[in-house]
Chains A and B, each alone.
Chain A
């Protein structure tokens, strides 16, 4: 217990102090260099902790993963593209890939759409804080808890029995169902049910960021448009929305990445069974359940490749943003 208290003190006081000392120390360190070298050296010292940690925790394992994807599963021999051949020849893997495309499209559209809708609407009501808190709350819940919450929502009892699941009870009132939501594979209904859970969790993220950008818009600008006779929809379409576009792109990009990395909800709610598997869960299964490191690594590389277009999009946007700076 004592050791833990010491840790707690290091945690709260020592760590920030050490980091501030570091950055202050860089300036002292730079004094020994001639004036003209300083500006060239300084940025690297400021970025050193970040680059070191990124290199260690992301770049180094990623290179290891790329190498492992060309090896057999104990890593003793090179197998060329065999692991990739397995991926594109496996019905399960292709189904996971298809599901990730559904995740990418619908999770992004739903979270950005609802986030924008909520942010715009609550800006006009007095109980804005309460409304935002309700929408944001799910993001404060761990995935494990969220999984259980939604198992209650989707719970299915055979027809005739008392429906304890919220959704089936609700449609039962209308005389429909019950429907075993997480087992319906037609039209990927069960995958959509999982996407809805993530939408419920992540709309708060989009809302908070879009709402913050909305607060930054100068109200006089909107007032001027109104004085000129523009109605609310024209104000939104002509002024508010264009100003929100960069923010929407940030939220959209984050959501696309979240969709591609979707794991926890699938893992807790269906385990990837019944055609609900996604790439991250497939990789987890190959790695930790089947011990197929080579295949798991190939899956990870496919995931990385899927993101390349988004990276290029980001580069383009970043360049454009820098141009106006």
Chain B
């Protein structure tokens, strides 16, 4: 109704939303789901600002009602751990290239899979997708031996490469699905106009794939930032000073033993950056990740 009254423009009128609703029932269900999903985290957050003795004696919800006894000593304790700042920096140094490298490498491969003809293309792509299932744990020992042989065990380079290798199947799968569904005519006319594949890639394929790349960046960053196993195995024993934040948080659990209130504080400190990244990038991918599904 209002859609007809709105002048034609790129801005979608509110009334032309995909699905209509707005009943009490809808809001009840949505808010109920939000509460269910938020409760576990809120519980930990509240316990992280309560004194350890109280958190052990009563449930987190008692903190909502008076008498209030909030404290930041758990956070202070975690921050006083002298290596936490170093670990934070290490996590950054590990996560940024381990997100950037697979995106570039996967984008090159996905572009070749989408828009270049070569024998065995489909079979090779299927093999790549098949590699999605290789359990990480099965690769640890052979790779560690290899790294030791090359003398890069314990270095950032080792974890960058490892995370890239492990992240590539999903990255190629996602980007190939998206790039492959971009309109063929765009690339054909670019080729007729004499654009080289490199130009078409950087000028057309990449800008058009921003939603998929943003989604991929978020997922890969989260996987790497939250990774414990890869860092522990490839850096662990050799260069403890290069370890990321997750390892020191896991260390808090074992060293304090039962001091879960410190863990809550540490967990929240480690969540800050991933949340910033999520909120910063989410607007880029609201318009669509899986291009193949929207061709209709």
Contacts and interface: CB of A to CB of B under 8 A. Distances in A.
B290 interface: yes
A215 B294 CA distance: 9
Nearest to A250: B290
A274 interface: no
A236 B19 contact: yes
Contact of B37 (A117, A148, A200): A200
A25 B219 CA distance: 30
A169 B188 CA distance: 64
B276 to A, nearest CB: 10
A269 interface: no
A16 B198 CA distance: 15
B129 A165 contact: no
Nearest to B14: A126
Contacts of A164: 55-60
Interface string B235-273: 000000000001001100100000010011011001100
A44 B117 CA distance: 11
Interface string A168-186: 0100000000000000000
Nearest to B278: A140
A118 B118 contact: no
Nearest to B115: A43
Contact of B112 (A46, A131, A152, A304): A46
Interface string B1-36: 001000000001000111111100011011001100
B160 to A, nearest CB: 8
Contacts of B287: 212, 215-216
Given A58-B131, A148-B260, 18 more contacts: A50-B128, A53-B164, A57-B161, A57-B165, A61-B139, A65-B139, A135-B34, A138-B37, A140-B278, A145-B270, A166-B59, A213-B289, A213-B294, A216-B294, A218-B296, A222-B18, A246-B292, A314-B130
5 contacts: A56-B165, A61-B134, A65-B139, A145-B270, A318-B126
Interface of A: 4, 7-8, 10-12, 15-16, 19-20, 23-24, 26-27, 39-40, 42-44, 46-47, 49-51, 53-54, 56-62, 64-65, 114, 117-118, 120-125, 129-145, 148-153, 162-166, 169, 200, 203, 205, 208-209, 211-223, 226, 232, 235-236, 240, 243-247, 250, 254, 257, 260-261, 263-264, 280, 283-284, 287, 293, 296-297, 300, 303-304, 307, 310-311, 314-315, 318-319, 321-322, 325
Interface of B: 3, 12, 16-22, 26-27, 29-30, 33-34, 37-41, 43-44, 47, 55-61, 89-90, 92-93, 96-97, 100-101, 104-106, 108-109, 111-113, 116-118, 121-122, 124-126, 128-143, 146, 156, 160-162, 164-166, 168-170, 172, 177, 180-181, 184, 196-198, 201, 211, 215, 219, 222, 225-226, 228-229, 246, 249-250, 253, 260, 263-264, 266-267, 270-271, 274-275, 278-279, 282, 285-294, 296
